[in-house]
Amino acid sequence: MNAKLKAAVPLLLVLVAAAWGLFAPPLLQSQDYHRFADARAWLSVANAADTLSNFAFLIVGGLGLAFLWRERKAGSSAHFSTRGETTPYAVFFAGVTLTSVGSAYYHLAPDDARLVWDRLPMTVAFMSLVSAAIAERISVRAGGILLVPLLIAGVASVVYWRASALGGFENLRPYMAVQYGSIGAVLAISLLFRSRYTHGNAIFLLAAAYIAAKQLETYDRGVYELGFGLSGHTLKHLVAALGLWILLRSLQRREIRRQPAPAHGAC
């Protein structure tokens, strides 16, 4: 399969996700979503486990930003072939860091208004990861050019959801299309295009952690009722943060792949 045909696969996935988000019947935000299994308070912190588990995102996001800051200051790097490649990852880890704040704020008193501040930085992380995958596996230039439009699309999906809810025509579907479409695009790009760096397969471990986290979120109460003291949603935060840490470690350890030496006698 040639490069243009391979590039058409993630593009097609994005177009399908966009069509689903824009033209499928409206999807309402279930108010049951805000009723989490573990409502215990601790030291005056409401919903303490779900709230405080967001510190895991703060730690990973902060470590990621610190790593990228050192990389940019160093000028040359064994982990990035160009300084421009650090930008999508810097936005990504900034999104992760802000997610810790937005999600903690939401979990203190869950409702639709606060959920906006949880979802906004999440879309920043999702969309910047798409940009990073494009830059790393297809084209550095294309990844850089697409970063801002992708971020605008992600933020717009959350703003639209909230505006539609307040306007009486609620539709969550564009936000869902952004979330699932971005993950699908990253996986398609990663499957079809080899990374220019070692440790590129860490993206699949991040995807596995994301899938596990979504399952834990779905079975929030069931997990809590197992009696181990943690709910599915609390574990969702911790498992997702673990996946992010694995990605960070892969960036810290990776090296630019060496081109194979030419065959003996080749011109």
Q: What is the pLDDT along the chain (267 residues), one digit of tens a residue?
A: 677 788 788 888 888 999 999 999 999 999 999 999 999 999 999 999 999 999 999 999 999 999 999 988 877 677 898 888 999 999 999 999 999 999 999 999 999 999 999 999 999 999 999 999 999 999 999 999 999 999 999 999 999 999 999 999 999 999 999 999 999 999 999 999 999 999 999 999 999 999 999 999 999 999 999 999 999 999 999 999 999 999 999 999 999 887 644 444 443
Domains and CATH numbers, the chain: 39-253 (1.20.1070.10)
Give the residue carrying structure tokens 């992708």. 150
pLDDT score at 259: 61
Q: Which residues pair with 256 in a beta bridge?
A: 197
Q: Report CA-CA distances (Å) from 78 to 39, 58, 59, 138, 163.
A: 46, 26, 24, 19, 45
* 101 C-beta neighbours (distance < 10 Å), count: 16
Answer whether 246's CB lies under 8 Å from 212's CB: no
Q: Report CA-CA distances (Å) from 104 to 115, 126, 210, 243.
A: 10, 19, 19, 19
- The pair of structure tokens assigned to 138 is 């297809």
Cβ contacts of residue 188 below 8 Å, gap of 6+? 9, 10, 13
> What whole-number distance in Å separates Cα of residue 98 and Cα of residue 104?
10
45: helix, coil or strand?
strand
Answer whether 190's CB lies under 8 Å from 200's CB: yes
> What whole-number distance in Å separates Cα of residue 80 and Cα of residue 56?
26
pLDDT score at 65: 97
> What whole-number distance in Å separates Cα of residue 135 and Cα of residue 142?
7
CA–centroid distance for 85 within its chain: 17
* 41 C-beta neighbours (distance < 10 Å), count: 11
pLDDT score at 1: 66
Largest alpha-carbon pair distance within the chain? 74
> What whole-number distance in Å separates Cα of residue 220 and Cα of residue 116?
21
Q: CB-hemisphere CA count at 13 Å for 77? A: 22
pLDDT score at 13: 86
